[in-house]
């Protein structure tokens, strides 16, 4: 008998009518208030907001000038090819909610402070009561875990990145820094070091609409984090089976294995719309090239599943076009100094 496949609503909201506030909901409200305090502190200190960038819908085609790429017509998009340079960006130039794309920074901070080498599993982390209670939430994506269960760091990263478990993102934040609030400070410091000047993190999962960024900033993060072979191997998995977790855990990134896609991370909430940070490979001029892109704010205001579907479809159209044009682009440009 085949194992059951774990069905998880894509990272984001699950609309639900509740007659009264549950314990989880009251905790979420308190957390939201504390996260707003983080926003105000970061803003007062100059933080990661950066200077205003405006909301004009513009195109900076970069190396893609003349390629007539099928850029998404709403939201914002940024694309680059490692070894060639930036293909350009399209769309609004203001920070927008990024939903569960946030988890890429959460993973980056965790792996920076607790690096894994080769096939190492890393330290064992115990599931606390909060993560277990949140696992049954109908209001957000989560991974089904029980209090007292023990998983390795690698397994926790899989539970966070593959089914987009918000409860696991917050658990990892508490494990690393003692509280989500303290972990958020680390996230914003990491963003500042990477030059993500229009990014502000207010939580580890991305459920908060106050976590905002731009496609250009997130592309900086994508380039850095894809240099980590452990992260790269996790986000490339279309599914995973973890002892103690029922069924087969399916990746929310349904583009994996198609159009050369080898990662990266989905995101979707009603405020954020659909989002996708993606990585794809293509062969040109006798070598394999890594193409990285970020698509944000697709069908914002729509149900999360609708926005995510739009982000996936538009991303695939763009990926296919870049891959088809890569031979001519390589011939015209040649390798760049950006290939470091």
Contacts of 207 (CB under 8 A, 6+ apart): 12, 13, 99, 100, 140, 166, 269
- Residue 265, annotated ligand binder? yes
- Catalytic residue, chosen from 100, 142, 268, 315, is 100
Which is nearest to 100 in space by CA: 241, 251, 247? 251
Which is nearest to 89 in space by CA: 292, 279, 260, 232? 292
| DSSP track, 186-249 | HHHHHHHHTT-TT-B---SSS-STT-EE-HHHHHHHHHHHTT-HHHHHHHT-SEE--TTS-SEE
- Catalytic residue, chosen from 103, 205, 259, 325, is 103
Whole-angstrom distance, CA of residue 224 vs CA of residue 205: 19
Whole-angstrom distance, CA of residue 142 vs CA of residue 130: 12
Contact 293, 82 (CB under 8 A): no
Q: What kind and span of H or E run contains 277?
A: strand 273-284
Q: At what angle do helices 102-113 and 166-177 cross, to 10 degrees?
A: 30
- Catalytic residue, chosen from 164, 213, 268, 325, is 164
Instruction: Examine the residue annotation and report whether 103 is marked as an active-site residue of this protein.
Output: yes
Compute the Cα dihedral for 109, 114, 119, 121 and give only its sign. Answer: negative
Whole-angstrom distance, CA of residue 149 vs CA of residue 137: 18
Distance of CA 316 to the CA centre of its chain: 17
Whole-angstrom distance, CA of residue 137 vs CA of residue 16: 10
Q: Which two tokens stand for residue 48?
A: 């990661």
End-to-end C-alpha distance for the chain, whole angstroms: 48
Instruction: Examine the residue annotation and report whether 164 is marked as an active-site residue of this protein.
Output: yes
Annotated binding site for substrate: 265
Catalytic amino acids? 100, 103, 164
């Amino acid at each position: 008998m085949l194992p059951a496949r774990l069905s998880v609503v894509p990272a984001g909201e699950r609309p639900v009518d509740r007659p009264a506030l549950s314990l989880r909901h009251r905790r979420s409200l308190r957390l939201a208030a504390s996260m707003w305090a983080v926003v105000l502190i970061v803003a007062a200190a100059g933080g990661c907001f950066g200077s205003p960038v405006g909301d004009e819908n513009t195109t900076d085609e970069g190396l893609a000038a003349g390629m007539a790429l099928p850029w998404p017509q709403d939201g914002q998009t940024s694309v680059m090819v490692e070894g060639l340079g930036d293909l350009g960006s399209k769309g609004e130039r203001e920070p927008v909610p990024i939903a569960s794309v946030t988890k890429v920074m959460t993973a980056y901070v965790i792996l920076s402070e607790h690096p894994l080498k080769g096939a190492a599993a890393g330290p064992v982390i115990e599931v606390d009561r909060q993560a277990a209670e949140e696992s049954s939430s109908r209001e957000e994506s989560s991974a089904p875990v029980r209090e007292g269960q023990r998983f390795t760091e690698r397994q926790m990263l899989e539970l966070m990145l593959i089914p987009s478990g918000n409860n696991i993102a917050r658990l990892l934040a508490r494990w690393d820094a003692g509280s989500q609030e303290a972990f958020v400070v680390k996230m914003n410091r990491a963003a500042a070091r990477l030059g993500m000047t229009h990014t502000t993190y207010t939580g580890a999962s991305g459920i908060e609409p106050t976590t905002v960024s731009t496609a250009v900033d997130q592309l900086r993060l994508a380039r850095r984090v894809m240099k980590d072979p452990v992260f790269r191997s996790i986000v490339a998995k279309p599914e995973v089976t973890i002892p103690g977790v029922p069924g087969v855990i399916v990746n929310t990134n349904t583009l994996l294995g198609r159009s050369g896609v080898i990662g990266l991370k989905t995101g979707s909430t009603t405020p954020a719309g659909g989002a996708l940070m993606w990585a794809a490979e293509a062969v040109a001029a006798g070598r394999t090239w890594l193409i990285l892109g970020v698509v944000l704010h697709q069908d914002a205001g729509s149900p999360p599943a609708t926005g995510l579907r739009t982000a996936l479809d538009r991303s695939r159209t763009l990926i296919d076009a870049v891959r088809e044009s890569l031979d001519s682009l390589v011939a015209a440009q040649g390798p760049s100094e950006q290939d470091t």
